Amino acid sequence: MLKLNRRIAAIKTSATMAADARATEMKLAGIDVVSLAAGEPDFDTPERIKEAARKALNAGQTKYTPVAGTLALKNAIKQKLKRDNQLDYEPGEIIASAGAKQAEANVIAALFDEGDEVIIPTPAWVSFAAMVSLAGAEPKFLPCSEESGFILEPDALRRAITPRTRGIMLNSPSNPTGAVYGEEQLSAIAKVLVDADLWVMSDDVYEHIVYDGLTAHLFHIEPRLKPRGIVFNSLSKTYAMTGWRIGFAAGPKEVIAAAGRLQSQNSGNPNSITQVAAIEALTGPQDELKTMLDAFRKRNALVVERIRRIPGFRLPNVPQGAFYVFPNVSGLLGTSHNGTKVTDGDSLAAYLLDEAHVSTVGGNDFGAPEHVRISYATSIENLNEAFDRIERAVAKLAK
């Protein structure tokens, strides 16, 4: 009997993408769905970036480029890493890929083998574990408590490291919790990591969406981690460029070269027009960031206030970054309406979609089944409408 590859057969579609796809399907069927599921800014890509792409298209920059991106793009990334993170990288230590997602998948595949363990503090973005499993390694989930504000505690980290641990994936600001590591917290974690023999991966894709000011980078705070550290970043969230597919990794040149060999075989260079647009995004005036951040800040305040009013929803932390809230909904477990029973965050998300036509993502695949993830990357008007609907739907749930 013909079979699929064992590792591919074991993975499912990303929960966030599946939730968003369901909402899109319902919209196409004429149902008025408010989507709070998507992990993307609702803003349009800034005009200066689009203009750079138009010019590149007109100039015929439509051919293959070097696999890891043009030298001009790598230099722009180098400049960005210095300007925003005080980190020095040479072009040979940088690879541009089709989104941070591809950069992460390639680097993870290049670093880990069967038998290796990779620590993933949870709640965590749904794709980290899948990428580690696809590489044949084993994701080791390390739960971060609500009491700690979903911040990894150094002692817990120390205890989680085994002789098989080869890597850790950190993500601040966090998708899905919005938690942001402060400098003291990063130093405390760095103290543990500096004594351990493992790759330290830092996913910084939400770095500019922070409400209490920028924090120093882990590898700047503890430069001894940099020789075995990998930075991942993306233009998707910072410049509202999700659909353009451009992100990057920076790290030791052997690692970047290995990821480049993989990319050369499985996809090739990231889109040539996008690369030109990315240079403009990274090196041009950065004023749009503030406009978007101001909007996210207002939405954050509204969403926190609205969630606190919903019986059965509890917000363990006020998100200090990214554009997600991750309420605990265990107060609603065991309730039901019209035959639909709430047994976890996923079933509540399904209920809210059916009953209120509001799409959210259940917490299971983030490693936190009693939660739902709500994205507030949408207008205040949409948010108010969505929360009015959620309140009405939740009020119908009874024991």
Ligand X SMILES: Cc1ncc(COP(=O)(O)O)c(C=O)c1O
Minimal CA–CA distance to 354: which of 38, 17, 37, 33? 33
| Angle (CA) 244 101 18, round 5° | 85
Out of 236, 269, 320, 360, the only residue in the binding site for ligand X (CB under 6 A) is 236
**171 forms part of the interface with ligand X (CB under 6 A):** yes
**80 forms part of the interface with ligand X (CB under 6 A):** no
User: What are the backbone dihedrals phi and psi of residue 238, each rounded to the nearest 5 degrees, phi first?
Assistant: -60, -40
Q: Which is nearer to ligand X, 205 or 310 (CB)?
A: 205
Beta carbons of 53 and 214 less than 8 angstroms apart = no
Q: Which is nearer to ligand X, 35 or 335 (CB)?
A: 35
**282 forms part of the interface with ligand X (CB under 6 A):** no
Sole window of 98-106, 190-198, 264-272, 333-341 interacting with ligand X (rule: CB under 6 A): 98-106
**Token pair recorded at residue 176:** 């899905």
Minimal CA–CA distance to 136: which of 7, 301, 295, 323? 7
**125 forms part of the interface with ligand X (CB under 6 A):** yes
Out of 106, 122, 175, 300, the only residue in the binding site for ligand X (CB under 6 A) is 175
Q: Residue holding tokens 């574990």? A: 129
Sole window of 96-104, 149-157, 312-320, 342-350 interacting with ligand X (rule: CB under 6 A): 96-104
Question: How far apart are CB 246 and ligand X at their closest, in Å?
Answer: 7
Q: Which is nearer to ligand X, 202 or 347 (CB)?
A: 202
Angular region, 8: left φ>0, alpha ψ -120 to 50, beta rest: alpha
Q: Which is nearer to ligand X, 76 or 394 (CB)?
A: 76
Q: Which of residues 12-41 bind ligand X (CB under 6 A)?
A: 39
Out of 107, 142, 180, 205, the only residue in the binding site for ligand X (CB under 6 A) is 205
Q: Where are the beta strands (DSSP E) in the chain?
A: 34-35, 94-97, 117-122, 138-143, 165-171, 199-203, 229-234, 247-250, 324-325, 336-337, 340-341, 358-359, 361-362, 372-375
Q: Which is nearer to ligand X, 99 or 229 (CB)?
A: 99
**Token pair recorded at residue 195:** 């004594």
Question: How far apart are CB 391 and ligand X at their closest, in Å?
Answer: 27
Residue 3: C-alpha distances to residues 6, 9, 101, 130, 233 (Å) = 8, 9, 27, 20, 36
Question: How far apart are CB 352 and ligand X at their closest, in Å?
Answer: 21
Question: How far apart are CB 286 and ligand X at their closest, in Å?
Answer: 18
Sole window of 95-103, 107-115, 307-315, 327-335 interacting with ligand X (rule: CB under 6 A): 95-103
Beta carbons of 124 and 290 less than 8 angstroms apart = no
Return the bridge partners of 143, or none: 122
**Contact residues for ligand X, defined by CB under 6 A:** 39, 99-101, 125, 171, 175, 203, 205, 234, 236, 242, 247
